[in-house]
Amino acid sequence: MKENILNGYKIAKELYKEVGVDTDQAIEILESIPISINCWQLDDVEGFEVNRHQTSGGIQAIGDYPGKPNNIEEFREQLVDVLDKIPGKKKVNLHAIYLDAKERVERNEIEPKHFESWVQFAKQHNIGLDFNPTLFSHPLANHGTLSNRDPKIREFWIEHVKRSRNISEYFGKELGQPSIHNIWLSDGLKEEPIDKVKPRKLIIEALDDILSRKVDKKYSIDALESKLFGLGSEAFVAGSHEFYLNYTAQSDAINTYDMGHFHPTETIHDKLATLLAFDKNIHIHLSRAIRWDSDHVPVVDDDMIAITKEIARQNAFDKVSFSTDCFDASIDRVKALAIAGRSVAKSLLIALLEPIEKLKEYENNKDFTNKLALLEYSKTLPFGLVWQYYCAKHEVNIKE
């Protein structure tokens, strides 16, 4: 480790110690938090189905930056490059369309065998795997999936999600850590529907069927991802926040909060304590919305820091899991994904370095003056010196 980085860390360590923060402990906690890296940034959410379908469901990657992988081998090479650029514990978040199969496989036919090579990849690189059924970019998804009025189409998607759960459970058993099985569907309408209850009743029936088989949470955790609106579903999305919040209150599934899936001026950090108060687990998709759910590459900004601080202040890292979620084809895809992962890690470290115990002490004593003063002072503490040390410890070049 370079002497200037080590010396800088020693200075930072002493300054943080003065406000009651142990930087070594903060780093130790950060090293225990897996950050799940969304694979679909690398190829613009296309996947490797032999019978590949046109991207739909409001999914739109803008740009034609060179270097997109041509096959699964190149894809994994780029993924390794990404993982090497992000310090700490990591997972990879896969969609069902990233199966490894030479033959045509319909989505209601996917099996763990189609993802065996991903398990080998994960073991080789000491990472975990999360999983998502792909309920978009398919001819049978054009008019709804789990809310489709046609029972045959609905059954097709129910079977797809059931098989996705099996694959997630397989990941958990093989890799010895829980796999988040995240369900997101783009079912909705461009114009206001007359009946907003019927499609939701159908989704309830479908989810009840899908989740009827109990899965040990040490292997797989079901999460439901809500959305406010999307391209082609501006007026109505069946899987809204309120809908899933009610559903998870009476099921074993947890809620996924995507930073881009709410009103443009709405942030999610204030919502987290609501679920934590009920001892509920939460999954978070860390993205960056610019005026709408645009899935920009996450950066260290106020929204990101507000989320990580809320979790750190409640010491809820055992209840919250994190995944990046972005796709931008206008810039280098590998570096974009590395920036995303590092931004999450930086934000987590900023949160872990906050003098939480001292701030709580002031708050409990109704000493709001010193609380505010300490909050402002802590903003000037040299987080960057701790970050440089953390990256150097993990042999990551932060300038790449």
Write down the pTM of the prediction: 0.96
Q: Which of 44, 222, 293, 303 is catalytic?
A: 293
Cα→Cα distances 227→95, 233, 269, Å = 18, 10, 16
Q: Which of 91, 114, 227, 271 is catalytic?
A: 227
**Is 28 part of a structural domain of the chain?**
no
With 80 as the cut, is the pLDDT of residue 400 above it?
no
Q: Which of 43, 225, 310, 328 is catalytic?
A: 225
Task: Please say which residue of 325, 351, 377 terminates a domain.
Answer: 351
Q: 317 and 284, same structural domain?
A: yes
Banded pLDDT at 264 (limits 50, 70, 90): confident
C-alpha–C-alpha distance, residues 184 and 257, integer Å: 11
Token pair for 59: 């999914």
Q: 262 and 249, same structural domain?
A: yes
Q: 156 and 54, same structural domain?
A: yes
Q: 340 and 366, same structural domain?
A: no
Cα→Cα distances 93→21, 24, 39, 330, Å = 33, 29, 6, 22
Q: 290 and 396, same structural domain?
A: no
What SS3 class is residue 353?
Answer: coil
End-to-end CA distance of the chain: 17
Q: 358 and 333, same structural domain?
A: no
Q: Which of 169, 258, 310, 354 is catalytic?
A: 258
Question: Does residue 325 carry a catalytic annotation?
Answer: yes
pLDDT more than 90, % of the chain: 94
Specify the pLDDT at position 1. Answer: 78
Q: 237 and 111, same structural domain?
A: yes
Question: Does residue 242 carry a catalytic annotation?
Answer: no
Domain of residue 183, residue span: 34-351
Q: 357 and 299, same structural domain?
A: no
Contacts of 197 (CB under 8 A, 6+ apart): none
Q: 121 and 71, same structural domain?
A: yes
Q: What is the CATH number of the domain that holds 255?
A: 3.20.20.150
Say which amino acid occupies 138.
Answer: H
**Is 271 part of a structural domain of the chain?**
yes
Question: Does residue 261 carry a catalytic annotation?
Answer: yes
Specify the pLDDT at position 226. Answer: 97
**Is 26 part of a structural domain of the chain?**
no
Q: 301 and 264, same structural domain?
A: yes
Q: What is the pLDDT of residues 291-333, one digit of tens each?
A: 888 899 999 999 999 999 999 999 999 999 999 999 999 999 9
Average pLDDT over every residue of 157-166? 98
Banded pLDDT at 269 (limits 50, 70, 90): very high
**Is 159 part of a structural domain of the chain?**
yes
